[in-house]
Amino acid sequence: MGVTTLVLDVVGGLLLAAGSFVLLAAAVAIWRLPTFYTRIHAISVNDTLGPGLILLGLACRATHSWEILVKLGLILAFLLITGPVSSHALAKAAYRSGLEPRSYRRAKGGPPSTP
């Protein structure tokens, strides 16, 4: 029993740390990356992976109660469905309204594209 708890604690901690790192990377990316599409690429992927890792890490701490596990699972499922869908809808709306994907060089010095 003691060993299982210890292993779960360690694994949970690692998962939480990894999730936090992924989320931080996304937050930094939104400042560092130059254009909208590069940012949405970073954010949408990380915002699916990060919550997954963190919620799994939390699940490791809640193995005593199936109720909490089910709720964590539901949140994870909901985020896994809605995150990519809303990112997709956003990218599509941006593209359709005339925001063109551009290379980094043009984004820095090129003329602004007209929608």
Partner 1 sequence: MLNLVDVLLFFFLAVTALGLVRLRDLFAATMLLSLFSLLSAGLFIVMDAVDVAITEAAVGAGISTMLLLATLAITKRREKAPRREVELVPLMVVLVVGGALVWGTLEMPEYGDPDAPSQTSPMTRHFLEKSRDEVGAPNIVTSILASYRGYDTFGEATVIFTAAVGALMLLGGRRPKDARLTGSVLQPHNRQSLAGAGADEMQPKELHLNRILEVATKSLVPFIMMFGLYVQFHGDYGPGGGFQAGVIFATGVALYALVFGLTPAQRVLPPRLLEALLALGVFLFGAIGLWTMVLGGNFLEYGVLSDGPLHGQHLGILLVELAVGITVAAVMLALFFLFAGRGFCGPQRKR
Partner 2 sequence: MLSVSILAILICMGLLILRAITGKTVFHRILVINSFGTKTVLLIALLGFLSGRPDFLDLALVYALMNFVGTIAVLRFSGYGDLASLDQNDASAEEDFEWV
Residues that bind partner 1 in the complex, under the rule CB under 8 A: 78, 81-82, 85, 88-89, 92
Confirm or reject binding of residue 56 to partner 2 (CB under 8 A).
no
Contact of 46 with 23, CB cutoff 8 Å: yes
Residue 71 to residues 59, 66, 108, Cα–Cα distance (Å): 10, 9, 45
CB of 3 to partner 2, least distance (A): 19
Which of the residues 4 through 43 are near partner 2 (CB under 8 A)? Answer: 12-13, 16-17, 19-21, 23-24, 26-28, 30-31, 34-36, 39-40, 43
Q: Which of 12, 14, 16 is nearest to 24 (CA)?
A: 16
Closer residue to partner 1 (CB): 32 or 88: 88
Encoded amino acid at 106, one letter: R
The one of partner 2, partner 1, none whose footprint includes residue 51, by CB under 5 to 8 A per kind, is: partner 2
Q: At what angle do helices 36-61 and 66-96 cross, to 10 degrees?
A: 180
